[in-house]
Amino acid sequence: GESRTYTGKHAYPVPHALATEELPRIIEEFVTASRNAIAAGFDGVELHGANGYLLHEFLAPSANTRTDNYGGSPENRASFVIEVVTAVANAIGAGKTGLRISPEHNVQGAVENDRADVLATYTALVQGIAPLGLANLSILHHDPAGELVQSLRKAFDGPVLLNTGFAEITTYEEAARVAAEGWGDAVVVGRPAIANPDLVRRWKEQLPLNKPDFATFYTEGPKGYIDYPFWEN
Ligand X SMILES: Cc1cc2nc3c(=O)[nH]c(=O)nc-3n(C[C@H](O)[C@H](O)[C@H](O)COP(=O)(O)O)c2cc1C
Q: What sign has the CA pseudo-torsion 196, 106, 6, 38? A: positive
- Contacting residue, 50, 81, 85, 88, with ligand X by CB under 6 A: 50
Distance CA 32, CA 86 (A): 14
- The C-alpha torsion from 46 through 150 and 155 to 56, rounded to 10°, is -40
> What separation in angstroms does the CA of 202 have from each of 164, 173, 178, 195?
21, 13, 19, 12
201-220: contacts with ligand X (CB under 6 A): 217
- Contacting residue, 35, 66, 142, 191, with ligand X by CB under 6 A: 191
The residue type of 147 is E
Clarify whether 53 is annotated catalytic. Answer: yes
Of the listed pieces 17-25, 145-153, 185-193, 201-209, which binds ligand X according to CB under 6 A? 185-193
Provide the minimum distance between the beta carbon of 9 and ligand X in the complex, in angstroms, as a whole number: 22
Nearer to ligand X, 217 or 230 (CB): 217
- Name the catalytic one among 6, 12, 53, 218: 53
Q: How many CB atoms lie within 10 A of CB 73?
A: 13
Of the listed pieces 20-28, 29-37, 76-84, 183-191, which binds ligand X according to CB under 6 A? 183-191
Contact 36, 42 (CB under 8 A): no
Of the listed pieces 43-51, 77-85, 118-126, 127-135, which binds ligand X according to CB under 6 A? 43-51
- Residue 44 as a binder of ligand X (CB under 6 A): the answer is no
125-164: contacts with ligand X (CB under 6 A): 140, 163
Q: What sign has the CA pseudo-torsion 142, 121, 186, 190? A: negative
- Residue 166 as a binder of ligand X (CB under 6 A): the answer is yes
Buried b (16+ CB within 10 A) or exposed e, 38-66: beeeeebbbbbbbbbebbbbbbbbebbeb
CB nearest ligand X: which residue? 190
52-91: contacts with ligand X (CB under 6 A): none
Q: Name the burial class of residue 139, with classes exposed (0-12), middle (13-18) and buried (19+) by CB atoms within 10 angstroms of its CB.
A: buried
Provide the minimum distance between the beta carbon of 156 and ligand X in the complex, in angstroms, as a whole number: 17
- Contacting residue, 71, 159, 165, 197, with ligand X by CB under 6 A: 165
Pairing, β 45-49 against β 8-11: unpaired
- Residue 170 as a binder of ligand X (CB under 6 A): the answer is yes
- Residue 190 as a binder of ligand X (CB under 6 A): the answer is yes
Provide the minimum distance between the beta carbon of 193 and ligand X in the complex, in angstroms, as a whole number: 7
Active site residues: 53
Kindly list the residues in this chain that would bind ligand X in the complex (CB under 6 A): 48, 50-51, 100, 140, 163, 165-166, 169-170, 188-192, 217
